[in-house]
Each structure stands twice: as structure tokens, then as C-alpha cells.
Amino acid sequence: MHTVTLIPGDGIGPEITEVAKRCVEATGVKIKWEVREAGEAAIEKYGTPLPQETIESIKRNKVAWKGPITTPIGEGFRSVNVSLRKLLNLYVCLRPYKFYKGVRSNFSQVDLVVVRENTEDLYAGIEFEQGREDTKKLIEFIKEVKGEKIREDSGISIKPISIEGSRRIVKAAFEYALKNGRKKVTAVHKANIMKFSDGLFLKVAREVASFYEGKIEFEDRLVDNMCMQLVQKPQNYDVLVLPNLYGDIISDLCAGLVGGLGVAPGANIGDEIAVFEPTHGSAPKYKGMNRVNPTGMILSGVMMLRHLGEKEAADRLEKALSQVIEEGKKVTYDFKSTPDDPTAAGTTEMGEAIIEKLLQF
Ligand code: NAD
């Protein structure tokens, strides 16, 4: 019996979580769900979007499965997702992008995994606001030390990239490749321009890669070139490892290659704890309508089952889901050529079709 912290989340979160939970349970794997709150519902009850008992539960169980959570705008609350990553040191953002027959996409041979660094880079949140005293001091300091003139009316964001941060993310990419029968890791960067940040990332990536020589192939690409390559010949790539910002952008590009955010799963992983989730947000306008696609949430459940060592159950659930998508009969509106197609199934009906398939294997 596994114990997993289950966070239904906001907006469409509770409905996709319920359907995906039923699919995971239908595999026969025994999981005790510790349901905890985060997001808007938690603010009403606890006065914070991330209550202590939710954090404690994740720390205790080491595995969590969450629906999307709304980030309130301008109310002084930090994003729950960012807070979780920081608090639990979830430094790997892992996102597989695989094409399933029946999905609307211009590509059919995509099977990529994005391994994005989650804690450093321009996302570290070290920012200097235009016009402030500390910003003026920084501009003055840079002029003194570097002899470089930055315009006085500038705002500045800092891009820290460390040896330790780079080493652990590249190692995570190679270990994932080894464990999952992947052939190649590609490091993505802009080291020709940002020599001391991206250059360091690349240098460390090469060092780490040397330990896997003969087992996993290694190459690197400039991020701009990578974008072009991915839309021209995505089949040439396998596992991509990237610093935070490029990882964010390339992730959405890859989601576009496989049919959009509705079908893409993800996980945030640290040395001890892993949190699985779909990559899309809480889509508030669809809340409670039983309309949205549960695929991203179900596939994040597939990733979670693999993480729990339940490989056979994970493979069966993925197979059932892919067959339902390929048949195209019980699928949600976003698989159809027009969003108002009357033959589209609801979230629950799609889930039921997946369970029916699963029980046939
Ligand atoms: P979103 O992903 O919630 O929705 C954008 C659009 O994508 C929707 O209007 C819908 O058309 C489509 N969509 C998303 N999920 C779908 C699904 N499962 N099936 C079918 N269509 C789907 O993005 P947003 O509107 O920018 O964000 C809404 C809220 O979600 C914000 O508060 C944002 O901060 C939050 N968010 C949370 C997470 C997370 O919890 N990991 C991730 C992204 C955004």
C-alpha cells in the first residue's frame, strides 16, 4: 500500500483529479490518499494558500499528486507552485511530451522529455526595480567594476547559474535517460553570448556527460537553433536538459508539438520528494462544466505510478488512455476539430471509457 498526498486544487482541478484518481485506482494498485488543500479553497479556511498541514503531509509521504492551482493576482499571495518548489527543494521539472495517435497535431513522431532546472536562472526572483535606490547603486557598482554603462532608467533581473545547480540537473537528466531506456541527452544553452552563466552550465554538462560515455550519447544546442530544430525534426531529439527560462519556453513549444497543454503531464522532483501534476492551469472559465480534458492529469498519474515502482500498472493505464484517444469516440472537445462539436465527451465520460478499456487488459 502506498500513501500519497492528493491536492485537488482550484478551478477544473477537483473534476480532473476525481476522474484521474478513479483511473489510477482501476489499475488495482493500492493507494491511500491523504487529501489536503492548497489554493483558493485553503485561503478561505486557513488564511493561506499553502497550509502547514499540506506541506507536512507531502514531507511525510514523499509523493504528492496535485491538480492545478490558481495564482491570485495582486493579493499578496505567492504562487503555491513556486512556494512548493522552493520549500521542498524540488529542483527538477520533468515533462515528457509524447505524441498519441488521435491527438490534433502537425507532428506524429514526437517522444521528447524536457528536464528543466527549477531553482536558478532569471527565475531566481532577484530583481532590481527601475528608479529605486538599490538599483541605482547596482548600476553605479557595475560601472565601477566592469566599466559598463547601464542606462539609469533600467530595471535589472539577475541570472545566477551555479556549478552545483547545473551538476544536479544534468545528472538528473542522465539518470532519467538511463532508467528509462533513452539514448541521448541534449544540453540547451546560449553559451556563446552568456559565457559565465550558460557557459558554466555547458561546461558542467560536458563534465557530467563524460561519466555516462558509452551509455548515453551527449550533444548540445544553442537555444535559438533548438527551437528551429524542434519544429523541423523533433524526432531527432530525446531528452533535453535546460536552465530554467529556456526550459519554460521550450516546454510550451513541445506541448504545442504533441497537441497542446491539455495532454501534457509534469512532475517537480527533489532528492526525496516528488510532486506530480498536469502542466496546464486551473482554467477557471471551465470550472464545474465537466468539459475539460483529463489527459494531462491522468498522464501525471502514470508518471506517479512509475515513480512508485508500479511500472506494469502505469503501462496499462497509458495504453488504455492512448487507445481511447486513438478511437476518438469518447474524447473531450479539444480533440475535435471545432470546440462546439456535439459528439465531444465530458471529462467523466472520457474517464469511464479509459477505465472500461483498462479492465479489458
Ligand atoms: P490555463 O492552462 O488554466 O488555461 C488556458 C486555456 O487552456 C483554457 O482557457 C483552456 O482553453 C485550455 N485548457 C487548459 N487546460 C485544459 C484542459 N485540461 N482541457 C482542455 N482545455 C484546457 O492557463 P491560464 O488561464 O493562464 O491560468 C489559469 C490559472 O491557473 C492562473 O491562476 C495560473 O496562475 C494557474 N496555473 C497553475 C498552474 C499549476 O498549478 N501548475 C500552471 C499554470 C497556470
In this predicted model, what pLDDT tens digit does every residue of 156-166 receive, in sequence order? 999 999 999 99
Active site residue 224: yes
**278 Cα nearest atom in ligand 1:** 41
Is the CB of 282 inside a 6 Å radius of any atom of ligand 1? Answer: yes
**293 Cα nearest atom in ligand 1:** 19
Residue 123: per-residue pLDDT: 86
Residue 261: per-residue pLDDT: 87
Instruction: Determine the distance separating the centroid of ligand 1 and the alpha carbon of 222, expressed in angstroms.
Output: 29
Vertex 205: Cα angle to 204 and 206 (nearest 5): 90
Active site residue 190: yes
Residue 71: per-residue pLDDT: 83
Cα separation, 319 vs 98, whole angstroms: 13
C-alpha closest to that of 80 among 50, 44, 54, 59: 50
Residue 337: per-residue pLDDT: 87
134, 224, 271, 341: the catalytic one is 224
Cα separation, 149 vs 336, whole angstroms: 54
Residue 44: per-residue pLDDT: 85
Instruction: Determine the distance separating the centroid of ligand 1 and the alpha carbon of 328, expressed in angstroms.
Output: 23
Count of other CB atoms within 10 angstroms of residue 2: 17
Rounded to 5 degrees, what are φ and ψ at 219?
A: -150, 170
Residues of the chain with pLDDT under 50: none
Asked if residues 325 and 331 have their Cβ atoms less than 8 Å apart, the reply is: yes
pTM value surpassing 0.85: yes
66, 190, 330, 357: the catalytic one is 190
**Residue to mutate, 282, 325, 349, ligand 1, most ligand atoms under 8 Å from C-beta:** 282
Asked if residues 11 and 72 have their Cβ atoms less than 8 Å apart, the reply is: no
Alpha-helical regions (H) of the chain = 13-26, 40-46, 52-61, 80-87, 133-146, 163-179, 198-210, 223-232, 244-257, 295-307, 311-327, 347-358
CA-nearest residue, atom 9 of ligand 1: 283
C-alpha closest to that of 294 among 254, 350, 251: 350
